[in-house]
Structure 1
Amino acid sequence: MKKLMMASFAAAMMAFGGITLAAPGNAADPQSSHVAGQIMVKFHDDRAASAVLRQHGLSEGPGIGGTGAQLIKVPAGKEFQLIEALSRNPAVEYAEPDEVVTAASDDQYFPQQYALQNVGQSLTNTAGTLLAANGTEDADVDAVEAWGVTTGGGTKVAILDTGVANVHDDIAPQVVGYANFVSADTKEDPKANPEDKYGHGTHVAGIVAAKFNNKIGVAGVCPDCSILDVKVLNDTGSGSSSVIANGISWAADNGAKVINMSLGQRVSSRTLEAAVNYAWNKGVVIVAAAGNAGTQAKIYPGAYPNVIAVAATDNKDNKASFSTYGKWVDVAAPGVNVYSTFPNHEFVLGTQNGRSMGYDVASGTSMASPVVAGVAALVWRTPAGTENKLVRARIESTADPILGTGTDWAHGRVNACKAVAGTCP
């Protein structure tokens, strides 16, 4: 059996401790509740819009959905002055500020989850250590906006990994089924509860489906999704092609609509590909990490045609230095300093710190892949989600064409809002 090379973390692991949340970036004036540099204006007759705006040195802007209003760019700091002036014009039905809307989340570490909502915030780990300053606003997957359409509705996502922590209030309740293809006792009980003693699988699962707005921890991309916990990697984070193939088949046979594999091997396996094709033919969307070698060398199962291979980006929408890349890679997603769940008990990835706080950051295409899996799960709950090939096409066609698109990955960085709604503000 070919040994699997797990898509390993490419950054040094975390130091546990108290957290200091950084202030949000400059998405809005910190002394105000409106977005700087833009206002919303509706005219009684759109034919008058251009002339009225020109009087104030302004130009027409894009329409705002079906409201009839336009989003008008204005000099920062002049918003209310221009609102007042425009409101006096009889051709203007109304002019108003574009108010900042924040997620109704009381999850403790949600402000650190730039992958879901990037307002330019700085990033720290649980110990409060600064990891990255001043991200790029909107270098995210627009998950918060997508939740206005769907939060997943119980879509089953299979996490093929090191297991998921059995006792963790933010992710364990989402586990609705499990299988253990690794532990010695599986010869007698192939469904023995697969505890995560390594840590990787719990982190991946939280990225997909950690509960939202429950006063603790983090939120997943698909916070109302269900998790199938399929242990295919052992407690040192390794496995084999045959075990992975078994896990894929089990997930497909047990109702998974999406399979995530944050793992990989350098050599192709016909058995592994056959398992992938089996799941695809049963209607499953399959997502896998592209790898952390920083080269263009193909990693499997990510490189198989019926798998969405995912590269990693950072909080500025740049390709992560460690990320594998190339035209064979399908899409990109945030994979640097990604906050998620970890086991509450001691685990291998946390032994250097001696204890676990249940949450922290990690980096790798292992973290980018479940972001895409979560988006796929959301799409299944929309009119576009009628079959796996349409879900995949939707994800790829709505991805944002950031720098690297067409060279480092075939499509762009995924956008959950566009994927579920078609268009997004």
Structure 2
Amino acid sequence: MPAGKELQLIDALGRNPVVEYAEPDYVVAAASEDTFFGRQYALQNDGQDIVNNHDTATSTKPAPIKIDGGTPDADVDAVEAWAITSGTGVRVAVLDSGVDLDHEDISSKVILRANFSGSNNNDDKYGHGTHVAGIVAATANNNKGVAGVCPGCTILAGKVLSDNGIGTSSGLANGINWAASNGAKVINMSLAVRASRTLEAAVNNAWNKGVVLVAAAGNGGGQTKMYPGAYPNVIAVGATDNSDAKASFSTFGASWVDIAAPGVAVFSTFPNHESALAGTGKKRSLNYDIGDGTSMASPIVAATVALTWSANPGASNSVVRAKVESSTDPAGDIGDWAHGRVNAYNAVTSP
């Protein structure tokens, strides 16, 4: 079969009355050979405990954290989705604080960089953008670190947040326009700002060019609308924990929060140099660790969008968005979000 046409053939065969069923002949492989894959419950939840990288003997590493095991299969079924596609070649723009210039697990995935933050360079001195990018596309099965939800994806690193994690609506709008003009199929924005006509115009421009935009719903714990997530042409993402409950900090509200994804203790990449999130004067000597927030949930959804597009290369952005939103698993309470917790396998196999 030509690559990307398998699901069309399965659908056609399934409608033939003389065919009992049709399905892919799946590749059987280890889940992942990456060092910390076992801590990535968001990708494969076996009910494992979650621990961070820490060393109580020094002050240069985060304090020890342990979260008890959650509910098995409260995950996005990433491993199952990889049997269909790894997202090879799909461009995902990460509009954030930049991506570490020399990280072993994510820097090579960055194919284009631009700076809209006012900072002096494109490196990630804050730490947030590297963590988000790793969630999207960290290299899988390289015996290092972690695996991204879309390990075949490439990254456009648009630095819209300064080295202190602050940006402007105009800088974000410029980043959106840049990403849409440079082939991004998906734009992830793990950030929030007040409503802005300039920003909304950039969002609508990107959507009209065929891009799917994804953004964090916010960490206020209430229902206050946050932008760009609240714009109709953006998928707003809330956060769940390792038992599929709504994260206590997650903004919610089915009137505008579209979907959810794991956002508690999500293990991913961090810069291998000093960064603001590691604390003043400290160096994160282990460049992988957990992060909390809808900032972590949003790139899981963005990566799932990319996988879905890879499996449906001729689909429009509205069709891809509909597949992702209509194929979720129940999570949280009724009214927390319009749909459920994202499921990558269901999305890529959605008819």
TM-score normalised per structure 2: 0.87
Partner of 1:420: 348
Aligned-residue offset at 1:106 = 1.6
Is the counterpart of residue 344 in structure 1 residue 272 in structure 2? yes
In 1, Cα distance between equivalents of 2:29 and 2:43? 12
Structure showing greater radius of gyration is 1
Aligned-residue offset at 1:197 = 0.1
Is the counterpart of residue 380 in structure 1 residue 309 in structure 2? yes
In 2, Cα distance between equivalents of 1:184 and 1:163? 10
Partner of 2:112: 177
Is the counterpart of residue 200 in structure 1 residue 135 in structure 2? no
In 2, Cα distance between equivalents of 1:102 and 1:113? 17
Partner of 2:94: 159
Match of 2:299 among 362, 366, 370: 370
Q: Say whether the 8 Å CA contact 1:379–1:385 is kept in structure 2.
A: no
In 2, Cα distance between equivalents of 1:233 and 1:338? 21
- 1:103-122 C-alpha deviation (Å, 9 max, x unpaired): 34221100000000001000
Aligned-partner residue type, residue 201 of structure 1? G
Q: Say whether the 8 Å CA contact 1:176–1:226 is kept in structure 2.
A: yes
Is the counterpart of residue 359 in structure 1 residue 288 in structure 2? yes
In 2, Cα distance between equivalents of 1:281 and 1:363? 32
Partner of 1:278: 205
Aligned-residue offset at 1:132 = 1.1
Aligned-partner residue type, residue 132 of structure 1? I
In 2, Cα distance between equivalents of 1:65 and 1:138? 26
Aligned-partner residue type, residue 142 of structure 2? N
**3-state SS in 1 of match to 2:311:** coil
Aligned-residue offset at 1:391 = 0.7
Is the counterpart of residue 121 in structure 1 residue 56 in structure 2? no
- 1:164-221 C-alpha deviation (Å, 9 max, x unpaired): 0000010000000011112355xxxxxxx51000000000000000000000000000
Is the counterpart of residue 269 in structure 1 residue 204 in structure 2? no
Match of 1:246 among 174, 183, 192: 174
In 2, Cα distance between equivalents of 1:65 and 1:177? 44
In 2, Cα distance between equivalents of 1:104 and 1:113? 11
Aligned-residue offset at 1:102 = 7.2
- 1:352-385 C-alpha deviation (Å, 9 max, x unpaired): 6822111000100000000000000001111375
Aligned residues: 318
CA root-mean-square deviation: 1.7
- 1:302-330 C-alpha deviation (Å, 9 max, x unpaired): 00000000000000000000000001100
**1:119–1:184: structure 2 CA closer, same or farther, 3 Å change rule?**
closer
Q: Say whether the 8 Å CA contact 2:245–2:332 is kept in structure 1.
A: yes
Partner of 1:392: 321
In 1, Cα distance between equivalents of 2:154 and 2:29? 25
**1:234–1:253: structure 2 CA closer, same or farther, 3 Å change rule?**
same
**3-state SS in 1 of match to 2:170:** helix
Q: Say whether the 8 Å CA contact 1:331–1:396 is kept in structure 2.
A: yes
Partner of 2:77: 142
Aligned-residue offset at 1:403 = 3.4
Aligned-residue offset at 1:127 = 1.6
**1:134–1:184: structure 2 CA closer, same or farther, 3 Å change rule?**
closer
* Percent of residue pairs bearing the same amino acid type: 61
Partner of 1:22: none
Q: Please list every run of at least 4 consecutive aligned residues from structure 1 whose deviation after the TM superposition is greater than 6 angstroms.
A: none
Q: Say whether the 8 Å CA contact 1:131–1:337 is kept in structure 2.
A: no
Aligned-residue offset at 1:421 = 1.2
Partner of 1:235: 163
Structure 2: give runs of 5+ residues left out of the alignment: 1-19, 56-63
Q: Say whether the 8 Å CA contact 2:270–2:288 is kept in structure 1.
A: yes
Aligned-partner residue type, residue 30 of structure 2? A
Q: Say whether the 8 Å CA contact 1:122–1:130 is kept in structure 2.
A: no
Q: Say whether the 8 Å CA contact 2:114–2:157 is kept in structure 1.
A: yes
Is the counterpart of residue 295 in structure 1 residue 222 in structure 2? yes
**3-state SS in 1 of match to 2:202:** helix
**1:408–1:400: structure 2 CA closer, same or farther, 3 Å change rule?**
same
Match of 2:333 among 404, 407, 420: 404
Aligned-residue offset at 1:387 = 1.0
Aligned-partner residue type, residue 207 of structure 1? I
Is the counterpart of residue 223 in structure 1 residue 151 in structure 2? yes
Match of 1:330 among 258, 264, 267: 258
Aligned-residue offset at 1:351 = 2.1
Q: Say whether the 8 Å CA contact 1:197–1:348 is kept in structure 2.
A: yes
TM-score normalised per structure 1: 0.72
Q: Say whether the 8 Å CA contact 1:177–1:228 is kept in structure 2.
A: yes
Partner of 2:16: none
In 2, Cα distance between equivalents of 1:65 and 1:401? 27
Aligned-partner residue type, residue 153 of structure 1? T
Q: Say whether the 8 Å CA contact 1:384–1:420 is kept in structure 2.
A: no
- 1:139-159 C-alpha deviation (Å, 9 max, x unpaired): 000000000000011100000
Q: Say whether the 8 Å CA contact 2:106–2:134 is kept in structure 1.
A: yes
Q: Say whether the 8 Å CA contact 1:110–1:218 is kept in structure 2.
A: yes
